[in-house]
Amino acid sequence: MKSKFIIASLLLAGACVTVNAQEKNKYYTEKASDNIYVGLGIGGMSVINDGFNTPTMNANITIGKHITTVWGVRGQFGGFWQSLDNQDNGYHRYCKKFGEINLDATLNLINLFGGYNPNRAFNLYVFGGPTMNLSRAVSTDLTITQDGKQSAAYAEDGAKARFGATAGLGLSYDINKKWAVNLEGRFGVTPSIFGDASDCRKAEATARLNIGVAYTFGGKKFVRASNVDEDALNAEINKYRSELAQAQADLANAKNALANAKPVTKEVVKEVEVAGPRAIFFKIGSARLDDYGKVNIELAAKILKANPDKKYKVAGYADKATGSASWNQKLSEKRAQVVYDALIAQGVDKDQLELVGFGGTANMFGKNFLNRVVILE
């Protein structure tokens, strides 16, 4: 029962470890340091305010990680200039430096819908998240002339952070496991870095198009997980749980039964076979053992040897109805000697035996021929 309990425990533990080690995805990342990459990008951007404004140069630096074959995260630092022109307030072709930080979640559309293929070169992905841009604040000095006309003077104050959100679409091509080139378009909305000079001061849209290169440290590393039939595995775990519960119940019952059991004392009787009187019969006038007599002596010898502390008398007899008294005495002694010698030959200790001849006897067993005997007793 104890072995059953241990086996069920091990099977349950092994099954649970197997389930926890596997993922639903066919590929997973083994180490936290795997699939970390850096990238550089360059391109152009435009403020979208009364249409697209004059494009300006834009560049970025990226650091990120592919968490799975589908999802990832990254941080992107970029900037250079933004240009605002043709505003109704007379703010014409003003180009302003700025910087931005984008925090993106990335979603690989091809791996999401088509599954991961380590030999696939092209990947289409979307990204998006919060953004923050930094630039000098713009203040407006509004002057009204005597003829009622307004004139505005714009000046830059200290740096100011503005928060918004961006999203975009990217296409990448893997040159090898480490290097890739990409093309990305990003659309964002934040308060305008041009302040009151912009018609969209509180929410100004921008668009960027960049081409870049990315390097993955150690190369992309996704390990293939074994395909697991979770339903079948869960069913097997439930079976082991049931067996384990039954084994625990059986073990508890056995312990209770053992604790409540009363000691039982059994009297052990050892049976010792002791030789009773044995009779070896002879033919008339003969002291020669026949086959029946030899078998009888062999059986007797085994019992005598099993009881070495017992002593036995080898008594010879003759038939009084035949022969003289002296002849019968000698014949009885000779018969006793033959049996004695046969027992010694079977390994019986001679100290256990006493040899005696009683001569001729009458009616010892009711018939004369039964008096021609050696009795071992």
pLDDT at 61: 97
Contact by Cβ (8 Å): 355, 377:
no
pLDDT at 144: 52
The secondary structure of 131-179 as a DSSP string is EEEEEEEEEEEEEE-TTS-EEEEEEEEEEEEEEEEEEEEEEEEESSSSE
Given pLDDT bands bounded at 50, 70 and 90, which one contains residue 264?
A: low
Given pLDDT bands bounded at 50, 70 and 90, which one contains residue 155?
A: low
pLDDT at 147: 62
Which residue intervals of the chain bear CATH 2.40.160.20?
Answer: 23-224
pLDDT at 75 over 80: yes
Q: Give the rounded percent of residues in the chain with a pLDDT score beyond 70.
A: 79
**CATH number at 23-224:** 2.40.160.20
Can you tell me the distance from the alpha carbon of 298 to that of 295, in angstroms, rounded to the nearest whole number? 5
331, containing H or E segment: helix 325-345
pLDDT at 136 over 90: no
pLDDT at 29: 82
pLDDT at 104: 97
Contact by Cβ (8 Å): 42, 208:
no
User: Is this model's pTM higher than 0.75 or not?
Assistant: no
- 111-120, 169-178, 179-188, 216-225: segment of lowest average pLDDT: 216-225
Contact by Cβ (8 Å): 83, 50:
no
Mean pLDDT value across the chain: 81
pLDDT at 124 over 90: yes
Mean pLDDT in residue range 207-236: 82
pLDDT at 152: 52
19, containing H or E segment: helix 2-21
Instruction: State how beta strands 312-319 and 353-361 pair.
Output: parallel
pLDDT at 54: 85
Which residue intervals of the chain bear CATH 3.30.1330.60?
Answer: 278-376
Given pLDDT bands bounded at 50, 70 and 90, which one contains residue 157?
A: low
Given pLDDT bands bounded at 50, 70 and 90, which one contains residue 137?
A: low
Mean pLDDT in residue range 125-145: 76
- Identify the CATH class of 278-376: alpha beta
pLDDT at 15: 47
pLDDT at 210: 97
Three-point CA angle 201, 203, 205, nearest 5°: 110
> How is residue 160 written in tokens?
């100011």
Given pLDDT bands bounded at 50, 70 and 90, which one contains residue 149?
A: low
Mean pLDDT in residue range 305-326: 85
pLDDT at 12: 47
Q: Is the dihedral of CA 81, 87, 89, 90 positive or negative?
A: positive
Q: Give the rounded percent of residues in the chain with a pLDDT score beyond 90.
A: 32
Q: What is the pLDDT of residues 14-67, one digit of tens each?
A: 544 444 433 344 788 878 899 999 999 999 999 988 788 889 999 999 999 999
Residue located via tokens 């009151």: 196
Q: Which DSSP state fits 94?
A: E
Candidates 336, 357, 344; CA nearest to 298 is 344
State how far the alpha carbon of 217 is from the alpha carbons of 93, 178, 220, 260, in Å: 43, 7, 8, 68
pLDDT at 185: 97
pLDDT at 20: 43
Q: What is the pLDDT of residues 320-360, one digit of tens each?
A: 887 788 888 898 899 889 989 988 898 988 888 888 888 88
Estimate the crossing angle of helix 325-345 against helix 291-306, to 10 degrees: 60
